[in-house]
């Protein structure tokens, strides 16, 4: 009896599932027009003709509405080329959902996450599919700073050896400071070229009666991460990249003076009520996506905002790059000329979590320039790529093109450290520590707490 019930109802449930997912394919840019590498799409389509009617599920981090529609515009070309029906999903707590699904054995075909630390964990448990040496070679040869991008996607598998488990897609530059050119012009402020200039500007803004920074680190379950970016960036400005690497790997402790100095350098900015719009107290309760809005208010609540390239999707509707807002490098220190122009970045990694011919084809698709160009060309996007075969002309704005150049020409490029650390630290103790620090604890106390958590892993 029960079986009958099960069968009957599952038939209904299945038909429901199918009914909900049929989408018409709508292409955003007509094929064959503009500066796109259309032939790469054609070549890809010719090579994958036999996939029609298959299904592909994707789980990713792009739950913000702008990102989501832009990403789905890219997917439409994959569907157009192969006939594969794609189901894309994301949610605010995408990491948790990805973990639950993978652990329970019901992952999407493709899982795309910006946290290498999390993926390393999955790889160790044998939940990721090896993409093979050909992928390693492709990334090494075709990406700016290719070797480091390839290595970012290599993890230790269940057999104890390193494999290429992930393909990098959609990169972000984190070391950026945003400002309003109008407000700078009105006050006669200049874009600083060095850290020392930046500090001088900060003091000048205060002297003029303004507030220099907008800082918000609230982010729901991930509250604290924007502060970790500050610390990582300041560490790169003050210490050689090797120190950064050792710190990320756990060989240098948080309580090391080099690290606490970086934390306190951040503190010298954030712990002064006059430096931050709303005062230090508001930092931990202001949503990171809300904080840049102070740049755009009349009169401005602040003049500077440090955040990664994706923050543009949180700017007020209709804001134009280069007109309503602009950015400059988080500037290097005059006192450390030997460190050059260090750049901190982050990016998403594409993995196969449930193998199928369509999933394999999808990785191939991402190797085509067109898979990058479609997103690059969308207005109000924040898509950057280190892939060298794309045509930079299709970037929708000069601002994005400038970022793209940074990525292609970076000398010292380091990935977001908290994303590389083990989950309970990089997505736990470090966040909590920075929240506590901003709310008044000393760097020594905070560092000791993080070290203690790390020791217990």
Give min distance, CB of 107 to other proteins, in A.
10
Give min distance, CB of 357 to other proteins, in A.
13
Pick one of 26, 39, 50, 96: the residue that binds other proteins (CB under 8 A): 96
Using the minimum distance from each CB to other proteins, give the nearer residue, 52 or 297: 297
User: Which region, judged by CB under 8 A, interacts with other proteins, from 88-96, 164-172, 254-262, 351-359?
Assistant: 88-96
Instruction: Pick out residues in 406-445 that bind other proteins (CB under 8 A).
Output: 423-424, 427-428, 431-432, 435, 439
Give min distance, CB of 139 to other proteins, in A.
26
Task: Map residues 143-182 to x or -, x wherever contact with other proteins holds by CB under 8 A.
Answer: ---------------------------------------x
At 373, is the secondary structure helix, strand, or coil? helix
Give min distance, CB of 71 to other proteins, in A.
12
User: Which region, judged by CB under 8 A, interacts with other proteins, from 32-40, 57-65, 135-143, 373-381?
Assistant: 57-65
Bond from prior residue into 269 cis (ω within 30 degrees of 0): no
Q: How many residues does the chain have?
A: 457
Give min distance, CB of 87 to other proteins, in A.
6
Nearest residue to 255 (alpha-carbon basis) of 430, 450, 428:
450
Using the minimum distance from each CB to other proteins, give the nearer residue, 19 or 161: 19
At 253, is the secondary structure helix, strand, or coil? coil
CA distance 305 to 208: 18
CA distance 237 to 286: 26
Report if residue 200 touches other proteins, rule: CB under 8 A: no
Pick one of 38, 64, 333, 360: the residue that binds other proteins (CB under 8 A): 64
Give min distance, CB of 234 to other proteins, in A.
22
Sequence-distant (6+) residues with CB within 8 A of 17 are none
Give min distance, CB of 218 to other proteins, in A.
8
- Sort strands 326-329 and 176-179 into parallel, antiparallel or unpaired: antiparallel
Instruction: Pick out residues in 255-284 that bind other proteins (CB under 8 A).
Output: 277-279, 281-282, 284
Task: Map residues 210-249 to x or -, x wherever contact with other proteins holds by CB under 8 A.
Answer: ---------xxx-xx-------------------------
Instruction: Pick out residues in 353-392 that bind other proteins (CB under 8 A).
Output: none
Using the minimum distance from each CB to other proteins, give the nearer residue, 200 or 323: 323
Report if residue 207 touches other proteins, rule: CB under 8 A: no
**How many CA atoms lie less than 13 Å away from 29 in the CB half-sphere?**
24
**Cα dihedral 349/373/326/222 (nearest 10):** -20
Give min distance, CB of 433 to other proteins, in A.
11
Pick one of 144, 192, 289, 331: the residue that binds other proteins (CB under 8 A): 289
User: Is the distance from CB of 224 to CB of 217 less than 8 angstroms?
Assistant: yes
CA distance 273 to 282: 10
Give min distance, CB of 53 to other proteins, in A.
12
Report if residue 63 touches other proteins, rule: CB under 8 A: yes
In the block, tokens 């259309």 appear at 38
**Between helices 357-367 and 38-47, what is the axis angle to 10°?**
160
Judged on CB neighbours under 10 Å (0-12, 13-18, 19+), 43 is middle
Using the minimum distance from each CB to other proteins, give the nearer residue, 300 or 345: 300
Instruction: Pick out residues in 298-337 that bind other proteins (CB under 8 A).
Output: 298-300, 314, 318, 323
Kindly report the number of other CB atoms within 10 A of residue 282's CB atom.
Answer: 16
Identify any residues that bridge with 408 across adjacent strands, giving them in sequence order: none
Using the minimum distance from each CB to other proteins, give the nearer residue, 250 or 424: 424
CA distance 384 to 402: 10
User: Which region, judged by CB under 8 A, interacts with other proteins, from 76-84, 165-173, 297-305, 348-356?
Assistant: 297-305
Site for other proteins (CB under 8 A): how many residues?
81
CA distance between the termini of the chain = 49
Report if residue 5 touches other proteins, rule: CB under 8 A: yes
Pick one of 70, 183, 202, 418: the residue that binds other proteins (CB under 8 A): 183
> What is the full DSSP assignment across 122-176?
HHHTT-S----HHHHHHHHHHBTTHHHHHHHTEEE-TTSSEEE-EEEEEEEE--E
Instruction: Pick out residues in 21-50 that bind other proteins (CB under 8 A).
Output: 21
Pick one of 95, 151, 245, 445: the residue that binds other proteins (CB under 8 A): 95
**Between helices 369-376 and 357-367, what is the axis angle to 10°?**
70
Give min distance, CB of 165 to other proteins, in A.
16
Instruction: Pick out residues in 98-117 that bind other proteins (CB under 8 A).
Output: 99-101, 103-106
User: Is the distance from CB of 341 to CB of 329 less than 8 angstroms?
Assistant: yes
Produce one character per residue of 411-438: b if its CB has 16 or more CB atoms within 10 Å, e if not.
ebbbbbbbbbbbbebbbbbbbebbbbbb
């Amino acid at each position: 009896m029960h079986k009958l019930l099960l069968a009957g109802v599952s038939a209904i449930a299945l038909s429901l599932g199918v009914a909900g997912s049929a989408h018409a394919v709508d292409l955003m840019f007509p094929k064959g027009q503009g500066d796109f590498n259309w032939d790469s799409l054609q070549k890809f389509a010719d090579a994958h003709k036999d996939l029609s009617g298959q299904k592909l599920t994707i789980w990713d981090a792009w739950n913000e509405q702008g990102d989501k529609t832009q990403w789905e515009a890219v997917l439409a070309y994959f569907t157009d080329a192969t006939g594969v029906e794609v189901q894309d999903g994301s949610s605010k707590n995408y990491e948790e959902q990805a973990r639950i699904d993978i652990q329970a054995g019901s992952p999407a075909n493709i899982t795309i996450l910006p946290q290498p630390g999390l993926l390393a964990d999955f790889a160790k448990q044998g939940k990721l599919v090896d993409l093979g040496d050909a992928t390693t070679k492709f990334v090494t040869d075709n990406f700016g700073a290719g070797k480091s991008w390839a290595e970012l996607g290599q993890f230790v598998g269940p057999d104890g050896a390193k494999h290429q488990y992930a393909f990098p897609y959609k990169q972000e530059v984190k070391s950026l400071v945003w400002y309003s050119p109008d407000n700078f012009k009105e006050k006669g402020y200049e874009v600083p070229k060095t850290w020392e200039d930046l500090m001088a500007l900060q003091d000048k803004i205060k002297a003029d009666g303004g507030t220099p920074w907008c800082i918000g680190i609230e982010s729901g379950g991930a509250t604290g991460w924007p502060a970790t970016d500050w610390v990582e960036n300041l560490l790169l400005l003050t210490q050689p990249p090797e120190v950064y690497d050792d710190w990320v790997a756990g060989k240098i402790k948080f309580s090391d003076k080099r690290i606490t100095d970086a934390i306190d350098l951040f503190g010298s900015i954030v712990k002064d009520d006059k430096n931050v719009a709303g005062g230090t107290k508001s930092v931990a309760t202001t949503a990171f996506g809300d904080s840049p809005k102070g740049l755009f208010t009349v009169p401005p609540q602040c003049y500077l905002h440090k955040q990664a390239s994706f923050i543009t999707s949180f700017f007020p509707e209709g804001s134009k790059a280069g007109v309503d807002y602009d950015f400059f490098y988080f500037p290097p220190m005059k006192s450390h000329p030997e460190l050059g122009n260090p750049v901190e970045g982050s990016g998403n990694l594409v993995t196969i979590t449930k193998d199928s011919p369509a999933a394999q084809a999808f990785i191939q698709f991402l190797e085509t320039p067109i898979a990058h160009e479609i997103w690059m060309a969308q207005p109000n996007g924040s898509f950057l790529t280190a892939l060298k075969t794309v045509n930079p002309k299709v970037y929708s704005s000069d601002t994005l093109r400038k970022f793209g150049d940074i990525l292609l020409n970076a000398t010292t490029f380091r990935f977001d450290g908290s994303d590389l650390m083990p989950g309970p630290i990089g997505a736990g103790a470090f966040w909590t520590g920075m929240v506590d620090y901003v709310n008044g604890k000393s760097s020594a106390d905070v560092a000791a707490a993080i070290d203690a958590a790390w020791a217990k892993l």
